[in-house]
Amino acid sequence: MNKGYWLLALLLITACNEKTKEPTAQEIVDRSILVSGGENYRASDISFRFRDMVYTASGFGNNRVLTRSFQKDSAHIKDVRTPKDFKRYVNDSLVVLSDSLANVYSNSVNSVHYFAYLPYGLNDAAVNKKYLGKVRLNEKEYYKVEITFDQEGGGDDFDDVYVYWFNSKTFNPDYLAYEFQVDGGGQRFRKAFNERVVGGIRFVDYQNYKNTQLDRSIHDIDELYESNALNLLSEIKLEDISVNPGNYN
C-alpha cells in the first residue's frame, strides 16, 4: 500500500514538473518561426511596398537577393543586395559607389527586409538568445527573450540589444523593443497590429514608440509602455504584399 502511494505521488510530482517546465529561448524562437511561416520564408518570392518604395526578396535559403526600387525626381533607382555584394542602378545603368556609401544603402535595404520577416532572422548564426522569464503584458502572458549579436557576422549595429515578447499560447512575437547606439543612441518599442497571413507567411504592421527615459534599462520598457510613459512616433505599415512559391528545386 505504502509503495503504491509513493509511486503515485512520484508520478504526480513528475507530471507537475513537466507541466511547469518553461521552454528555452531557442525553443521559443524555433516555434515562433514555425508558426509564422517556416520554410516559406526560405523558398518564396516576396514583394511589398513600404513608404513609396517596392521591396522584393527572391532566391532560396542563404542565396536570397534583396531589392529596393523607388522613383526620385526623374530617376528610377534600384538597389540590389546579394550575399556577395551591393549594386545600385539608376535608370537601369550601374552606378559606381564608394564602399562606405554602398554599405549604408545595403544596410538600409537589409533592415527593412529583416523587420518585415520577423521572427525569421532570429536564427541567424550571429544571434544570441537569452530567456528572461514569463511576464504579463496587456493582460496576456508572454515569454520574454533578449537578443544580442556577435561582432563577427552581426553587422555594423552588432552592439544593439533587442527584447521580444512571444505570446505563450500562439508564440507570435506581438511586441519587440531595441536599444541602439548610433546618432546618440535611443530606445524603441513596437507593438504589432494588423496581422495577416499571405502565402503562408505572417505579416504585421507596427506602432512605433520612443522611450525618452534613457536612464531605464531596455528590459524595463514593457513596464513603461503599460504605464503610458512612451511616445508614439509613427506607424510602420507594409502594403501590396505578394508571396509566391519559388521554383528552387
- Sequential DSSP letters for 112-150: HHHHHTTTGGGGSTTEEEEEEEEEEETTEEEEEEEEEE-
pLDDT at 15 over 70: no
Question: What's residue 40's pLDDT?
Answer: 94
DSSP 8-state class, residue 224 = H
Q: Which three cell numbers stand for residue 206?
A: 507596427
What would the grid cell of residue 60 be?
Answer: 532560396
Residue predicted with more confidence, 5 or 52: 52
- Say if 12 falls within a structural domain: no
Model pTM? 0.87
Instruction: Flag whether 113 is in a domain.
Output: yes
End-to-end CA, the chain: 63
Rounded CA-CA distance 5/214 in Å is: 57
Q: Let me know if residue 115 belongs to a domain.
A: yes
Residue 91 lies in a domain: yes
Residue in 104, 114, 118, 123 with CA at minimum distance from that of residue 57? 114
More confident position, 162 or 1: 162
Asked if residue 41 is part of any domain, the answer here is yes
Greater confidence (5 vs 202) lies with: 202
Confidence of residue 1 (pLDDT cuts 50, 70, 90): very low
Number of domains the chain contains: 1
Residue 192 lies in a domain: yes
d(CA 234, CA 237): 10
Average pLDDT taken over every residue of the chain: 90
Q: Rounded CA gap, 57 and 81, in Å? A: 10
Q: Is residue 1 part of a domain?
A: no
Answer whether residue 58 is part of any domain: yes
Confidence of residue 122 (pLDDT cuts 50, 70, 90): very high
CATH assignment of the domain containing 199: 2.50.20
Say how far apart CA 67 and CA 57 lie, in whole Å. 7
Q: Which of 173, 152, 151 is nearest to 164 (CA)?
A: 173
Residue range(s) defining the domain that contains residue 164 = 24-244
